[in-house]
Structure 1
Amino acid sequence: MRIGGHITSTLEFPGHMSIVFFTAGCNLLCSYCHNPELIDVDGGEDIPLKELYRIIQDSSDFIDAVVITGGEPLLQSDDAKKLLECCHDYDLKTKLDTNGCYPKKLKKIIDVVDYVALDVKAPFDAYKEIIGDDVGDLVKKSMELCYDSDCFLECRTTYVPSLMNPEDMEKIAKEITCDLYTIQQFRNRTVLDEKLQNTPNTTRKELLKIANKIKPFLDNVKIKTGEFGDEIIK
């Protein structure tokens, strides 16, 4: 499996200590990508699944979850499924982060996933305009698949003021169905497009204003900032 590294984290799977595997390769070129080193498959190294199983086994006494993120993990969906199946052998919870572009692959793996974090990068009909790829319909299908399954579904959007406006966020809120919607802070320190380094980081105040405006449309809304972490909107 092509892996760009792994860490132990208490943040990536809320409420759980997890090992996080970063897969290499992504089909999108989002200008604000915060892991641009993982876009190219050459950003990782081939690690045999047996070695990844060993890492999980050696860590199983002090973790209770495994997260597969990227890049885009579903580019390696067969190996990702095998890795997640291994997790269940050790009674570990599983989480998958995905951009939602591969609903058919997601359907084949969803039965071994407990938690999906789905990036909703724009209103479904505005993907081409905002991120340059007309994949909104595919993301919508992935969302519907997850919501109809037994897994917990978090939809999340990074709010980039130079690419989006509060009206876009309200439109997303009216279009999505999920267990939790997270609005993430844009941070300009690491981005794919260097022009965005001149875009100021979004502030907690900005995100709170948007979150309170969309709260009537969704049961559970959260904002996430570097300064204050996760904050549930009451």
Structure 2
Amino acid sequence: MREAYHVELEQLAEHLAAMSVQVAEAMELATKALLEVDLGLAEQVISDDAKVDDARADCEEQAYALLALQAPVATDLRTVLAAIHAAESLERMGDLALHVAKAARRRHPEPVLPESVRPYFAEMGDFAVKLARRTEEVIKTKDVAAARTLESDDDQVDDIHRHLFSVIMDRDWPHGVATAVDVTLLGRFYERFADHAVSVARRMVFVVTGKMPGYGPETDEL
């Protein structure tokens, strides 16, 4: 009985890892759609978002069933609770990739981003995808040291996000208010995507140590 239970816990972790792959691919395609003004890729991300939503629902259903039927304690209880929180964060990462894709579709056939800021978004996109893929590995391995290293890439995204404000607030910004708003919102989407990846990693640290890492206050907002 206990062996079957632990098999179910492993399956739950595998489902979360698969969600990490889904949202990594979604953000990778959404960023490409944004930078290359590719409507087809944007539409693909938008249509595939339902799969991420379904994956979250499946993870939560499995987690709640384990809580109800097995009454887990200690590490097992932490694993199930962490899975519920992680599934929520991963689903929100999918939503953020969706927002990027919708921005690309909304402005098509015109580019959303001026040429001057595209390199910043290319870099944030690379970091975001890297974070999601490293989250997959952390979920699989529950490697505390690896989980903690996600903070450095998140800091890089935060730095670029802050720099974007100085770019659009410059008195010589030539692209108008609407474009400045687009750049601000898109920068926020990438920044939140990275934050949620770190949140998932923190949950894995909680599973192993029983304590949430003291990186600072968490937030669940998009």
Q: Which band: TM-score by shorter chain?
A: under 0.3
Q: Which has the larger radius of gyration?
A: 2
Structure with greater strand share of residues = 1
Structure with greater helix share of residues = 2
TM-score (norm 2): 0.25
**Which structure's relative contact order is higher, taking Cα pairs within 8 Å and 6+ residues apart?**
2
